[in-house]
Structure 1
Amino acid sequence: MEGMTLFLFHVIVVGILIAVTAFIAYNAGKNKGRFISDRQDNKMLEK
């Protein structure tokens, strides 16, 4: 039983780590896209 508990604990922890990493990557990608669109908007205004 102890081995199964340890296995479940690790599965849960790894799942949380993957979820947090995906969340951070998603937000970083969103922000990068926003900065790129801001730069394009500024170039359009300068013309």
Structure 2
Amino acid sequence: MTTMHKQLKRKAVIQQLNKLGIHSVEGQPLEDAIYTKLLKTLARKRASQDC
């Protein structure tokens, strides 16, 4: 996977989190957080909304 593709995926996840009102993860700005933490946070938020 190219670097550009990874950056686009990361940006898309950050945009989705921003739409859900999340602007930081564990006290870090989303742009500085590890990609896996971003994905886990997004999954948890979506799961909590489905209940």
Structure in which a larger fraction of residues adopt helix: 1
Task: Give me the TM-score of the superposition, normalised by structure 2.
Answer: 0.39
Specify the structure having the higher radius of gyration (Cα): 1
Task: Give me the TM-score of the superposition, normalised by structure 1.
Answer: 0.42
Greater relative contact order (Cα < 8 A, sep 6+): 2
